[in-house]
Amino acid sequence: MPDRTRNIHERFLRHIWSRQYLDQSNLRTTDGKPLRVLEAGKLNLDGGPDFSDAKIKIGGTTFFGDVEIHRSVAEWFSHAHQNDARYNRVILHVVLQAGPKHFLTTSLSGRTIPVLILGEHLSEPIQSIWQRAILDEQARKSETIKCFPGNSAVSDLVLNGWLRKLATERLELKLRRFEERLRMLAYERLMAIREHPKTYGEPAVEGYPDEIPPPFKELTQNDFANKDLWEQILFEGLMEGLGYAKNREPFLKLAQCLTLSELRRLQLAGDDQRRIAVLFAVAGLLPKIKTLKERESKEYARQLLRAWNDVRLSVHVGKLHPSEWQFFPTRPNNFPTLRMSAANVLLARLLNDNLFRSMIQTLKSDNNPAESRKTLSRLLSVQSSGFWQHHYDFDQPARTTMVPLGLSRVNELLVNTVVPISLLYARIFKDPAVRENTLLVYESFPPLEENSLSRLMRTQLLGNKVQVASAGSQQGLIQLYKYYCIEQRCAECEVGKVVFAHDER
């Protein structure tokens, strides 16, 4: 077995752990402690440990945390996990074969992590498990939604009407999420403005409990009239969208930490170099010069470091840890470093060019939806320039010109951020023109870039009966899958009511 482990992919080992093809009767760690797997954890296909939220009893103690899978113990160190804060929650290191005795799995926090040798505890020969894994993979690929193929009897009229309703439902959920954040910011601003200095003298007379006022007053239209509030939620929405699937959380965290008001306080509105230096530094992505090999990367990093040193003593916000960012598995165009260059351009438009106001004015105009959509797209378009024109990361030159924000990503930002925020603006300020024009623009969007989820629903639900002709229809499919198919809410679904009508008799 030791000679063949290099040919065994970690994906296969993750499958063994996930399906628990183990002899559970006598599991022990390498230091002899009895082990019992209570919950194997949830598979993580992004950066960080392979499984999260595992529950494992070792000796007499039950641990909750992550599990990391490798071919050998030595790979923990070759992958530098001992220096990565993301692996501080690992409670078990699972490997196929034992390694040299001097290899101890340790975390960045200095904790020694127990090790389980898979090869010593398999429930059957590894060749048999391999055959079962092939069958499991075939079953996974043939996975279907519950109503397939019976949904072929559902009319296109029912499908189209149901998807329109679900698209509206999904849009409303996004709108309410931004409304919740807007209200939070408005309350914070209200409390800051109305807070008065301490007074001395006779204490205030306390009234009856029934007379105690509520902690927050009801917000009015005037409380939402400050454009800084709207610019901030737009900033947060755009940043989250720049994060794509892998880096939404750290980009949003960065926007809520390094706010527009903080950037204005630092007087960075008109200073591109210092602004992007602060972005990289607070994000934890400003590299150390000694780690870079390429001459151009070293020079650019030095410029950013000098700019950061000019303002660092004035920056009073927390920093993100580099481990919070995902680079792999991610396409170069979606690397957070390249996206950060796009964020810097959008920040300049928010701080200097009244980006939010320009968007609302566009939606107030009498332009046809296609023309308004083009105008909004131009407001968010970002062309590559300087260092990031031919790099997607520090020390990572690109063979072709990089596009930090392509048309497909701009369209997603418009559909997922600009449209719901504009509808929220129209609702709060009772502006029918903005509402109607925003809805018309939304309906005019072509389908966004297809993913595995939308592809599954298109092939197994729509077939050749209904075309996904708009982003709205696509959003309806996503809503249907996430809130009805996964949750098995077939009785509440218009498709399920038709397909499973006979089950109710």
Q: What is the reported pLDDT for 1?
A: 36
**What is the Cα–Cα distance from 471 to 450, expressed in whole angstroms?**
10
Q: What is the reported pLDDT for 207?
A: 54
User: Which tens digits make up the pLDDT trace of 252-262?
Assistant: 999 999 999 99
DSSP codes of every residue in 133-191: HHHHHHHHHT---TTTTGGGGS-HHHHHHHHHHHHHHHHHHHHHHHHHHHHHHHHHHHH
Q: What is the reported pLDDT for 275?
A: 97
Strand partners, 66: 90
Residue 138 has pLDDT above 60, yes or no: no
pLDDT confidence band for 306 (50 / 70 / 90): very high
**463 or 50: which leads in pLDDT:** 50
pTM here? 0.78
Q: What is the reported pLDDT for 127?
A: 76
Axis crossing angle, helix 355-364 with helix 369-380, rounded to the nearest 10: 170
User: Which tens digits make up the pLDDT trace of 44-91?
Assistant: 877 789 999 999 999 999 999 999 999 888 889 888 899 988 999 999
Cβ contact 57:35 at 8 Å:
yes
Q: What is the reported pLDDT for 5?
A: 43
pLDDT confidence band for 240 (50 / 70 / 90): very high
User: Which tens digits make up the pLDDT trace of 200-227?
Assistant: 555 555 555 566 555 556 899 999 999 9
Characterize the bridge pairing of strands 42-43 and 61-72: unpaired
DSSP codes of every residue in 470-483: SHHHHHHHHHHIII
Q: What is the reported pLDDT for 453?
A: 86
pLDDT confidence band for 6 (50 / 70 / 90): very low
Burial 202-235 (b: 16+ CB within 10 A, else e): eeeeeeeeeeeeeeeeeeeeebbeeeebbbbbbb
Map tokens 């939604």 to a residue. Answer: 145
State both tokens at 83.
Answer: 């220096």
What value does the mean pLDDT of the chain take?
89
Percentage of the chain lying above the pLDDT 90 cut? 69
Q: What is the reported pLDDT for 495?
A: 96
